[in-house]
């Protein structure tokens, strides 16, 4: 089985990057940006590989197929709501199946990736892992309410990232694991929010890569936005 579709083979042996969700708006832009920098990029996505981040067996199958180490890993998968649904505006709209699906993709999915990731990170050299979450997952920054499932899933993802960073740093002192807020990016994901100012995917990718490149080991476990500013938990 070949799970490394859309893989750049330029400069193999130099900087290797893994993008989970590489066919999405942000993921694809990140992949292109890394390729332009000469990185050897591996993409995992539903459209090219049948990869499902919420399916433990498929995650294991694809992650076990990977070998060597990656200097950059970005998890860019996520959903706002199940297909045909929208984020809840009030408590009486909460639906258990809806909530479980959002949590499965946005929180459990990244946890499954992180579970299989340590062996793919360099033991002593610098590496950086960015999991794209969202500012609305911040408890301290929540002033508007609503969006129960999405907020809860991103808050859970933030906790998972922070906890994984602690464990990974015990054996990989130069590994940096962070949660990232990309800003509002112009993708199909945000198409239903016309009133928001949006950043083009290419610009968003450049912003996120700039932030990741500027982090050091003391940054691991943090939650930062596209401008490198700390987001409250």
Instruction: Write out pLDDT tens, residues 13-23.
Output: 589 999 999 98
pLDDT of amino acid 190: 54
In the prediction, which pLDDT does 198 show?
Answer: 72
Burial (CB count within 10 angstroms: exposed 0-12, middle 13-18, buried 19+), residue 162: middle
Strands 127-132 vs 175-181: parallel, antiparallel or unpaired: parallel
* Buried b / exposed e along 116-136 (16+ C-beta atoms within 10 A): ebeebbeeeebbbbbbbbbbb
Residue for token pair 């002593």: 124
Strand order in the sheet with 175-181: 40-44, 16-20, 72-75, 127-132, 175-181, 223-225
Q: pTM of the full predicted structure? A: 0.90
Alpha-carbon distance values, 104 to 23, 96, 229 (Å): 19, 12, 28
Q: Would you state the pLDDT for residue 10?
A: 38
Q: Output the DSSP codes for 5-71.
A: TT---TTTTS-EEEEETTTSHHHHHHHHHHHHTT-EEEEE-HHHH---TT-HHHHHHHHHH--S--S
pLDDT in tens, 183-220: 988 866 555 555 566 789 899 999 999 999 999 999 99
- 78-124: per-residue pLDDT in tens? 999 999 999 999 999 999 999 999 999 999 999 999 999 999 999 99
Q: What average pLDDT does the structure give for the chain?
A: 91
Can you tell me whether residue 187 is helix, strand or coil? coil
For residues 117 and 18, give the distance between their C-alpha atoms in angstroms, rounded to a whole number: 10
């Amino acid at each position: 089985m070949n799970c490394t579709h859309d893989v750049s083979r330029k400069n193999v042996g130099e900087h290797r990057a893994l993008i989970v969700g590489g066919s999405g708006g942000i993921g694809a832009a990140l992949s292109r940006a890394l390729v332009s920098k000469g990185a050897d990029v591996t993409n995992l996505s539903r459209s090219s590989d049948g990869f499902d981040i919420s399916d433990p067996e498929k995650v294991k199958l694809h992650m076990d197929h990977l070998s060597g180490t990656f200097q950059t890993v970005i998890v860019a998968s996520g959903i706002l709501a199940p297909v045909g649904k929208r984020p809840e505006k009030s408590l009486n709209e909460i639906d258990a199946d809806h909530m479980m699906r959002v949590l499965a993709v946005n929180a459990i999915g990244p946890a499954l990736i992180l579970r299989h990731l340590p062996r793919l990170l360099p033991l002593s050299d610098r590496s950086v892992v960015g999991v794209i979450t969202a500012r609305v997952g911040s408890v301290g920054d929540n002033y508007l309410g609503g969006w129960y499932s999405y907020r809860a899933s991103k808050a859970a993802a933030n906790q998972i990232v922070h906890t994984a960073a602690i464990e990974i740093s015990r054996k990989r002192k130069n590994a940096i694991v962070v949660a990232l807020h990309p800003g509002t990016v112009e993708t199909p994901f945000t198409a239903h929010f016309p009133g928001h100012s949006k950043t083009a995917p290419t610009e968003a990718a450049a912003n996120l890569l700039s932030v990741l490149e500027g982090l050091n080991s003391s940054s691991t476990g943090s939650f930062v936005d596209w401008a490198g500013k700390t987001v409250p938990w």
